[in-house]
Amino acid sequence: MMSHMADANLMEKIVSLCKRRGFIFPGSEIYGGLAGTFDYGPYGVVLKENVERLWLGMFRDGRDDMYGVDAAILMNPKVWEASGHVAGFSDPLVECEKCKRRFRADHLQFKYKKDKNGKILEDQEVWVCENCGTENKKREPRQFNMMFKTHAGAMEDDSATVYLRPETAGGIFTNFKNVVDSLHPKLPFGIAQIGKAFRNEIAPRDFIFRLRELEQMEVEYFIHPLEWEQAFEEWRKMMHLFAEAIGLPQNMVHELEVEAKDRAHYSKRTIDFEFEYPFGRKELWGLAYRTDFDLSAHETNSKVELRYLDEATGEKFTPHVIEPSLGVDRTVLAILASAYREDDMGADVRTYLALAPKIAPMKAMVSPLLKNKPELVAKAREVRAELQKIHPAIAWDDNGNIGKRYRRQDEIGTPFCVTIDFDTLGEKPELKGTVTLRHRDTGEQERLTVAQVAGRIRAAIS
């Protein structure tokens, strides 16, 4: 088997598989696309939903101290003034003197020019434009706000400006009081939300890694200020458990303690969870201690009190916040990149996705050996219906020969294929009622009863 890290073309292969098998397509493709946008296709959307369902189970529904919201994407612009995003959510930007292409200054490699004797000229720092090759002098970057603006209502003047939210967190902080007033939760408690966020990234790149329209799974966990370190540790462990649950190899996930100068304006401590993507080790998720920055800022700006009264002690204070923030798209990409496998079969290469059965879009595929034999088709339909009692995502595939069907399901990451043949119907009496179960990762096949197959699938996805 080929090691995925050794393959320089891995990203190309993943992008191609995603398109070929209906996982992910370029956004607005028939019009030439729109940079930084992608659409999830039939299998991609199920994979993404499985990731989100698992997250909801672990981060919200499996806990007594968590609540959900689904806030509006368009919010009063004062939200983003208070949160600091209008003033500070910007990237440092430089422009190539020749082709005018813009780049993030913090992504550039600078070098010193040398004179004709090879002596380094320390006052002449330059960067090379990756678009046209021009050597540009290092200059002070300009700040470029990354929020998308639009207008609410009939007027298009500044008074009607609204922003597409740059993080889902905003809709959680603004609902803190609503949740407290309606459900009366006791601290510590958290609010979880999954939803779209928008960032006008200067250089969207690396497939679904850096997008302009992205999806986040975020928790704001409200605590007494003295409890932040303990809560930070708990969520840190939870994020590792989630990485394990979705099948990310533990040795590909790394923690990076973010230095003060690189932290977001609201954070007193941040750990980036980095993943070994094919294009390098990059941020997958973030865990931040946001202090009382947001609730205090919203209280000051809205003039609505956002403090919490501890009825047991009589203490009234502004809760502090621990925020585990997970990008859905980066998670999906990490899953795809770590699951991609190629098996050299001699005559050709077998490609498959070694997805954890829990998140695989299809749990199994059922197939009649021949599609023009009604008795095989009827039995296969019956077996599929039986297996769908365990999970509805049981694919049906009777297209092409059985080898082609297996290869197709391998690329979709379907862990099991179940084939119904004449022995199932009793051609060999001792095999009556049995089917062939094929395993995706090894290609091995075994003869089992339908009840045994059901047991295997149940065990794999539970």
| Contact positions vs ligand GAP (CB under 6 A) | 167, 169, 199, 201, 210-211, 214, 216, 218, 283-286, 323, 325-327, 329-330
- Residue 284 or 387 having the CB closest to ligand GAP: 284
Q: Closest distance between ligand GAP and the C-beta of residue 202, in Å?
A: 10
- Residue 13 or 263 having the CB closest to ligand GAP: 263
What H or E segment, with its residue span, contains residue 128?
strand 120-128
The secondary structure of the chain in percent helix, strand, coil, rounded to multiples of 5, reads 35, 30, 35
**What whole-number distance in Å separates Cα of residue 240 and Cα of residue 234?**
10
- Residue 147 or 453 having the CB closest to ligand GAP: 147
- Cα 73 to the center of its chain, rounded Å: 19
- Residue 97 or 106 having the CB closest to ligand GAP: 106
**What whole-number distance in Å separates Cα of residue 124 and Cα of residue 305?**
53
- The answer for 103, left when phi > 0, alpha when psi is -120 to 50, beta otherwise, is beta
Q: Closest distance between ligand GAP and the C-beta of residue 339, in Å?
A: 18
Which is nearest to 70 in space by CA: 167, 168, 148, 166? 168
- Residue 325 or 424 having the CB closest to ligand GAP: 325
Q: Closest distance between ligand GAP and the C-beta of residue 273, in Å?
A: 8
**What whole-number distance in Å separates Cα of residue 311 and Cα of residue 68?**
24
Distances (CA, A) of 363 to 224, 423, 447: 43, 24, 18
Q: Closest distance between ligand GAP and the C-beta of residue 288, in Å?
A: 6
- Residue 334 or 377 having the CB closest to ligand GAP: 334
Is the distance from CB of 308 to CB of 317 less than 8 angstroms?
Answer: yes
Going across the sheet that includes 445-449, the strands are 394-396, 364-368, 416-420, 434-439, 445-449
Q: Closest distance between ligand GAP and the C-beta of residue 255, in Å?
A: 13
**What whole-number distance in Å separates Cα of residue 433 and Cα of residue 447?**
10
Q: Closest distance between ligand GAP and the C-beta of residue 81, in Å?
A: 17
Phi/psi at 142 (5° precision) = -100, 150
- Residue 331 or 351 having the CB closest to ligand GAP: 331
- Residue 293 or 416 having the CB closest to ligand GAP: 293
- Residue 141 or 195 having the CB closest to ligand GAP: 195
Q: Closest distance between ligand GAP and the C-beta of residue 218, in Å?
A: 6
What H or E segment, with its residue span, contains residue 366?
strand 364-368
Reduce the DSSP state of residue 359 to 3 states and report it: coil
Reading the block at residue 310, the tokens are: 């501890």
- Residue 284 or 418 having the CB closest to ligand GAP: 284
Count of beta carbons in the 10 Å neighbourhood of residue 23: 27
Strand-pair partners of 277: 280
**What whole-number distance in Å separates Cα of residue 197 and Cα of residue 362?**
28
- Residue 188 or 327 having the CB closest to ligand GAP: 327
- Residue 283 or 343 having the CB closest to ligand GAP: 283
Q: Which residue is nearest to ligand GAP (CB)?
A: 327
Q: Closest distance between ligand GAP and the C-beta of residue 63, in Å?
A: 20
Reading the block at residue 425, the tokens are: 């119907």
Instruction: Report which DSSP code applies to 57.
Output: I
Q: Closest distance between ligand GAP and the C-beta of residue 333, in Å?
A: 9
Instruction: Report which DSSP code applies to 60.
Output: I
Q: Closest distance between ligand GAP and the C-beta of residue 421, in Å?
A: 46
Which is nearest to 194 in space by CA: 174, 173, 171, 175? 171
Q: Closest distance between ligand GAP and the C-beta of residue 194, in Å?
A: 12
What ranges in 21-156 are assigned the alpha helix state H? 42-56, 78-82, 85-88
Q: Closest distance between ligand GAP and the C-beta of residue 379, in Å?
A: 46
Which is nearest to 416 in space by CA: 386, 376, 453? 453
Structure-derived torsion over alpha carbons of residues 434, 438, 444, 447, reported in degrees to the nearest 10? 0
